Amino acid sequence: MTQYKNRRAARKAWEKAIKKETGGKKELFHVEISHDEYCGVFKQAECNCNPHRRLFNASGKLIIEVRGVGFYDPFEVTGVSNV
Ligand SMILES: [Zn+2]
């Protein structure tokens, strides 16, 4: 796993990988988000932890794994941003 120098660099790497792997393609991909046990998603609220993110292609090959990106927004992998 690549270590990024800060949250912004980690987020940019994640977003770039999502766009490269999924942009314009009609292929299956897998996103694995590992939330901390205290995270709001387990209490029917929004993510308030700093989950590990992993993106896999349809064959199950790991494309990228990042940590330190910050709160997870489900829209970040759809190309629809609410930011
Ligand atoms: Zn979370």
CA of 43 to the centre of ligand 1 (A): 11
pTM of the model: 0.78
What confidence tens digit (pLDDT) does each residue in 8-56 have?
998 899 888 888 877 777 788 899 999 999 999 999 999 999 999 999 9
Concatenating the DSSP letter of every residue in 20-83 gives HHHTT----EEEEEE--TT-GGGGTS---S--EEEEEETT--EEEEE----S--GGGGTT----
CA of 66 to the centre of ligand 1 (A): 14
CA of 21 to the centre of ligand 1 (A): 23
User: What's the pLDDT score for residue 15?
Assistant: 86
Nearest to 33 by CA among 14, 61, 12: 14
CA of 82 to the centre of ligand 1 (A): 17
Is the pLDDT at 83 greater than 70, yes or no?
A: no
Indicate the DSSP class of residue 3.
P
